[in-house]
Each structure stands twice: as C-alpha cells, then as structure tokens.
Homo-oligomer: A and B are copies of this chain.
Amino acid sequence: MTAQPLKIALAGLGTVGGGTVQLLHEQAALLAARAGRPLKLVACAALERPAELPLDGVPFHTDARVMAREADYDVLVELIGGAGGVALDVVGTALDKGRHVVTANKAMIAHHGVALAEKAEKSGAILGFEASVGGGIPIIKALREGLAGNRVGRVMGILNGTCNYILTTMRASGRDFADVLAEAQALGYAEADPSFDIDGIDTAHKLAILAALAFAAPVDIKAVACEGIRHVSALDIAYADELGYRIKLLGVAACGDAGMSIRVYPAMVPLAFPLAHVDGVFNAIVTEGDFVGRTVLEGRGAGARPTASAVVSDLMDIARGRATPTFGVPVGALAQRPAAPAGSCRSAFYIRLMVRDEPGVFADIAAALRDEKVSMEQVIQRGRAPAATVPVVMTVHETDEAAMLRAVDRIAALASIAEPPRLIRIEAL
C-alpha cells in the first residue's frame, strides 16, 4: 500500500476513546484494505496516559488544546465530551485549520452544530458525528445519504439506553422507578447524577440533531420540549401491559403543514409498533420518508465498542474522501421551520386518576371530557371500596392536546381526585 496514511489525533481516552484505540489497533489491516490507505493514530491526548491501551509510539499530550494546535494530523477525533470547554476549543481549532473532525459529542453538536458546520464549510473540512446519536447504529449516514431522496415527515426513536434499561427493568420486575434507578446506579448503568439521562436531556440533544438532518433545519436544542421518566410508575407500566402497550421514552420530531415539533416524552407504544420490542440498552430510530415509507434502525446505543464503530465509520469516509455537507445541505440552505403551535399536536392518551370513590365522581369526569370533545376508548376500574382511593384508568381516542390538557385540568380540580392525574401519550402507528 503506497497511499498516504490518514493521520489521526485523538482527544479523550475514556470509554469511547479507549474503544476507538482498540478498534484502530485490532482492525488496522481490514481498515486499510477498505479505505485504500492506513488509518494511523499520530497523537493522543488525555489527562493521564492509560496503561492498558495499545498506544506504543503514539505521542501523548496531557493538554488536548496543545495537541489540536501543534500536532500534524488530518483529522481530529474529539471524545472528551461536554457542550463547550476543551471539546469545543479543540474542534474549533481543528476546523479553523482546515482539519477534519470526528466527534461523538451530542451536546456540542446540539448546542453549536450550526456554528461548527459553518467553520467546516469555510475551511473545506468534514465534520463527522455519526457516533453522537444511537451509538453504533448508522443513523446519521442513513438520514443524510441513504434516505436523501425523501422528504422526511417524522423521525422518532428510543435514544437513551439508561432510560430504556430502567423502563425495561421496571416492567420485568414490577419494581418502581426509584428502586430500579438506584440499582442501575449501583451497576454503573446510570450516573450518580442521573438527571441528564432520566430527565430526557440526552435524548433531547440527540433528537435535535436528528431533526436538523431530517428537516434541513438549523439544529436548535432550545426548540425541544422535554419530559423525562421520573413520573413513570410501576402502576402505569402494569396498566400499559394490560392495554397492549409498552412505555418507552421517545424522542419524536415531526415537520408538516402545522409546523415543526421536537419533543421528548414517555409514551405508550402499541405492541405492533417496532419500537415496543426494543429493550434494555438497545436504541432504535424510526424514520418516515415520503418515498421510502417507514424504516427502522436498531442497535446498541452506547458502549465503548459500538460507539467506536460509529467513530471509525466517519474516519473511513474521510479516508476515502467521501464528503457530505454537515447537515445534508450547506449551512446557507438550512431553513428555520415554524414551530407547531403549542397544543396543536394530536394524540391518543392514557389517563390515570386516583379517585376517592364518592357518588357522582364519574359523571364529573365524563362531563369534563365531553365538554372538550375528548372521546373515551377504554376504562378500567377495579377494587371499588366505599371511600377508598382507587385508580381509574382511561384511554381516549386521538384528540387535540390542548383540549386534553384543559379536560385534565378540570378533572384535577375535582374534590374527589386524590392525586394529580397522570397523562401519557399513546403513540400512533
């Protein structure tokens, strides 16, 4: 092989960085055969040099900024993480020098994607971020290239493995959220501060990126409405089972005549829908295109090796000279989409009320729904005992969200309602 190697500088040697070093080392011959040139690690940076990685002969930096400025590389791989700080600095430095960048940093792309894409465009560099969404699933490539002939109406998915693990375990064990979260933390599947995952922020970052690609809109994390899984109870999961649903934390981005909506929320997913069967740490993304119809991509959403697979796919594209505009079109062609008016979305719903069983209460509930033209589908009530508090579960047909929220507010105010009502969207097929 006489072709010039692709010179790689790697910033960050944590989980994903370590996996990437392993992949580049183990598959060196394979990668060279596929890329037509060797992929060569020429510099790396981390606070400490990890002894267990095959980094013999690779110059080591303790300051990634220095490496980004001074090393001689073709592509900088940023695996430090964090929306700003060192990560953003080294990526900016590389792009300004006309060096390609590959990153797994969804927070950075979600917050600074457009500015970074502009830098890349200006200097003729490629900015790859396949690893930022869905771990090893080649979803960025699919949206940007494989489905490039389609107008995408909706892209949605299970994008956070920690939440999906917690929800899957809650269902399998019947245990409640706090209990399963504590166990996940003990096992290392959830962070000590779990907010980033369980409040949906990580999903929001990833969804903002997918929405930008799907709709050719500037990536905008502030446009994402976000609700996490703290309030999902074992009781709701059991009712979901009984009704033929699974509760999943979804990111759902849609763009149509009513405008664009980008939302993260726990939803009831019908068993006939592919996402219902995506369990544990797996992720999956559904894309609806006007020609292709529905596609589903599923795989491991995190972890050293799957994420390294995604990082290396970007490196292979760069090694082969395969370029695409960062978000599928030049930055100048990204168009702000009007936001769908609040409450304009339509959905079916699951509602759980904790009701003190007093005469007339059901008539009041039914009247509130009727007055908002919300049409009931199913009702489950069991174990009535005079004056006791019992769950009343209803599902309603597709309705305006605004009407549903008004009806629930009115129901919540009834004297016989003992707890705030739980409202969970039922995702349409």
User: Which residues of chain A have a CB within 8 Å of any CB of chain B?
Assistant: 19, 23, 27, 30-31, 33-36, 130, 136-138, 141-142, 145-151, 216, 274, 277, 284, 289-300, 303, 305-306, 308-313, 315-317, 320-325, 328-330, 333
Instruction: Give A98 to B316 CA distance when docked, in angstroms.
Output: 25
Q: Which 6 A-B pairs have the closest CB atoms?
A: A138-B146, A149-B312, A136-B292, A295-B299, A292-B309, A296-B298
Q: Are B312 and A148 in contact (CB under 8 A)?
A: yes
Find the B residue at minimum CB distance from A299: B295
Cβ contact within 8 Å between B36 and A330: yes
By the criterion CB–CB under 8 Å, are A309 and B296 in contact? no
Copies of this chain present in the complex amount to 2
Partner among B34, B149, B315 whose Cβ is within 8 Å of the Cβ of A313: B149
Q: Which of A19, A31, A136 counts the most chain B CB atoms within 10 A?
A: A136
The answer for the CA separation of A269 and B284 in the assembled complex, in Å, is 20
Q: Is the CB of A291 within 8 A of B136?
A: yes
Say yes or no: A316 contacts B149, CB within 8 Å: yes
Residue among A138, A149, A277, A328 with the most chain B CB within 10 A? A149
| A84, chain B: closest CB distance, angstroms | 28
Q: Are B137 and A313 in contact (CB under 8 A)?
A: no
Could you say which of A308, A321, A322 has the most chain B C-beta atoms within 10 Å of its C-beta?
A322
> Are B297 and A33 within 8 A (Cβ)?
no
Contact of A298 among B146, B274, B311 (CB under 8 A): B274
Q: Given the complex, which residues of B lie within 8 Å of A284, measured CB to CB?
A: 296
Choose from B23, B33, B333 the contact partner of A216 (Cβ within 8 Å): B33
- For A35, the closest partner residue in chain B by CB is B148
Instruction: List chain B residues, Cβ under 8 A from A322.
Output: 145, 322-324
Select which of B33, B142, B296, B323 is within 8 A of A142 by beta carbon.
B142
Whole-angstrom CA separation of A277 from B296 in the bound complex: 12
Central interface residue in A19, A311, A313, by most chain B CB within 10 Å: A313
A312 to B324, CA, bound (A): 15
A299 in complex: contacting residue of B290, B292, B323, CB < 8 Å: B292
The listed residue (B147, B274, B313) touching A147 by CB distance below 8 A is B313
Can you pick out 20 interface pairs between chain A and chain B where the beta carbons lie within 8 Å of each other? A23-B149, A30-B151, A31-B148, A33-B333, A34-B325, A34-B329, A36-B330, A136-B292, A137-B295, A145-B313, A149-B308, A149-B316, A274-B274, A277-B277, A291-B305, A291-B308, A293-B299, A296-B299, A320-B323, A320-B324
Contacts of A148 in B (CB 8 A): 31, 34-35, 312-313, 316
Q: Contact at B138–A309, with CB atoms within 8 Å?
A: no
How far apart are the CA atoms of A147 and B138 in the complex, in Å?
7
- Whether the pair A296, B297 counts as a contact (CB closer than 8 A) is yes
Q: A136-B293, A216-B33, A298-B274 are in contact. Are A27 and B305 (CB under 8 A)?
A: no
- A290 contacts which chain B residues (CB < 8 A)? 305
Q: A146-B313, A149-B312, A149-B315 are in contact. List 11 more A-B contacts (CB 8 A).
A: A27-B291, A31-B148, A33-B329, A138-B145, A138-B146, A142-B146, A148-B316, A149-B316, A274-B298, A284-B296, A290-B305
Cα–Cα distance between A277 and B306 once the two chains are bound (Å)? 24
Expressed in whole angstroms, the Cα–Cα distance for A311 and B148 within the complex equals: 10
